[in-house]
């Protein structure tokens, strides 16, 4: 019978330990190289923190870092795919480190700007309207040759054909800071002597997809949606849109989601970004970015661009939301 060699066993254990240490060091080196590559790669970085906590990357005291916050009713994965090319484009053009912050709701996006975490925002026009005195309007996208859109109410059930048919029914809104998703319809009801009690129930989904799911699953009888998104839905998902129909459209046109900046942002930097947005349709790379966004181009608008909807809402409603 062959006797075990304790020295050899000890040697093998040392060998195993050495191999493990070597493997750990190798992983550490590879990780370090990846970090260096990311830090020196001349593009933007993405921050997809969706919590209400303070942003982990502060841009307020970093002159070469610009925070851009995006809020959208689309799923976060789609928002990232859509806006990443824009961030890279702006980063290359300005030679600045640009951090993209995404927020689920318009309120959270607005809060991140007013707190100084982000200097530029691409959010709904309703959110801009809420705190327009603290923000500057840089540019507005033109979509299908229009700078405006409308609010729709859509339904799936055939017996719901107009707004009157929604009495005592359930409606899904998108966001309380959204013109198309809530503000315009709520105001329309009040103008006609009604209120949200017209419906038996209402709730917020914070996502167009979630609103449509609510319709499909019978959780809501109707849902609000903006006309731009509805047209995109018809084009990209006809199997879904074919089962839906419009039962109401807003009597007022709503400005497309603007690019905005905080008032105390460095003036020269603010003008630089404004020019970049407005000149985007003049370069091949810029046109590619616009195509991904679904825009024709960005245009400059004057300070009274929101005046028509402001007048329609009425002076008493300006600070309501």
pLDDT per position as a tens digit, 56-108: 445 555 668 999 999 865 666 777 788 889 999 999 999 999 998 888 888 99
The confidence score (pLDDT) of residue 312 equals 85
pLDDT at position 176 over 50: yes
* Domain residue limits, the chain: 7-41, 46-144+256-317, 151-251
Closest CA to 144 of 38, 255, 228: 228
Encoded tokens for 178: 């959204």
Check residues 3 and 275 and name the one with the higher pLDDT: 275
pLDDT at 321: 43
Rg (CA), the chain: 25
Which of 13-17, 45-49, 143-147 is predicted with the least confidence, judged by mean pLDDT?
Answer: 45-49
| CATH tag for 151-251 (out of 3.40.50.720, 3.40.190.10, 3.40.50.2000, 3.30.450.40) | 3.40.190.10
Which pairing describes strands 120-122 and 259-262: parallel, antiparallel, or unpaired?
A: antiparallel
pLDDT at 71: 82
Rounded distance, CA 57 to CA 211, Å?
Answer: 32
Q: 46-144+256-317: which CATH number, 3.40.50.300, 3.90.650.10, 3.40.190.10, 3.40.640.10?
A: 3.40.190.10
pLDDT of residue 297: 98
Does the pLDDT at position 220 exceed 70? yes
Intrachain domains 46-144+256-317 and 151-251 with the same fold: yes
Question: Using CA atoms, how far apart are residues 60 and 62, in angstroms rounded to an integer?
Answer: 6
pLDDT above 90: percentage of residues in the chain: 58
Of the two residues 33 and 179, the one the predictor is more confident about is 179
The per-residue pLDDT for 308 is 86
How many CB atoms within 10 Å of residue 221? 24
Helix (H, G, I), strand (E, B) or coil at 142: strand
| pLDDT above 70: residue 316 | no
Q: Could you tell me if 47 and 112 are in contact, meaning their C-beta atoms sit under 8 angstroms apart?
A: no
Take residue 203 and report the two structure tokens written for it. Answer: 């709730």
Q: Is the pLDDT of residue 46 over 50?
A: no
Span 264-307, pLDDT tens digits: 999 999 999 999 999 999 999 999 999 999 999 999 988 788 88
Encode pLDDT of 77-89 as tens digits.
777 788 889 999 9
Q: Hey, which bits of 131-234 come out as E strands?
A: 135-142, 148-149, 151-155, 170-173, 201-204, 222-226
């Amino acid at each position: 019978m062959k006797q075990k060699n304790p020295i050899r066993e000890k040697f093998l254990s040392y060998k195993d330990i050495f191999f493990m240490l070597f493997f750990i060091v190798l992983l550490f080196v590879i990780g370090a190289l990846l970090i260096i590559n990311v830090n020196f790669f001349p593009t933007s970085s993405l921050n997809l923190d969706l919590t209400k906590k303070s942003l982990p990357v502060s841009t307020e005291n970093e002159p070469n870092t610009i925070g851009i916050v995006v809020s959208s009713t689309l799923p976060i994965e789609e928002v990232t795919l859509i806006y990443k090319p824009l961030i890279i484009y702006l980063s290359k053009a300005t030679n600045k480190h640009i951090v993209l912050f995404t927020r689920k709701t318009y309120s959270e996006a607005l809060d991140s700007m007013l707190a100084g975490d982000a200097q530029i925002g691409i959010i709904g026009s309703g959110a801009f309207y809420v705190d327009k005195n603290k923000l500057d309007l840089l540019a507005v996208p033109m979509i299908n040759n229009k700078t405006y859109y409308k609010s729709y109410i859509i339904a799936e059930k055939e017996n719901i054909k107009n707004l009157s048919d929604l009495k005592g029914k359930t409606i899904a809104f998108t966001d309380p800071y959204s013109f198309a998703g809530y503000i315009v319809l709520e105001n329309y009801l009040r103008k006609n002597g009604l209120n949200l009690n017209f419906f038996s129930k209402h709730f917020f989904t914070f996502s167009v997809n979630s609103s449509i799911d609510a319709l499909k699953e019978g959780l809501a009888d109707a849902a609000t949606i903006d006309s731009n998104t509805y047209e995109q839905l018809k084009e990209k998902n006809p199997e879904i849109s074919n089962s839906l129909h419009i039962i109401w459209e807003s009597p007022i046109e709503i400005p497309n989601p603007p690019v905005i900046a905080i008032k105390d942002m460095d003036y020269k930097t603010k003008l630089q970004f404004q020019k970049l947005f407005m000149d985007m349709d003049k370069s091949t790379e810029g046109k590619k970015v616009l195509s991904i966004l679904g825009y024709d181009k960005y245009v400059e608008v004057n300070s009274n661009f929101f005046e028509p909807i402001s007048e329609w809402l009425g002076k008493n409603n300006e600070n309501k939301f």
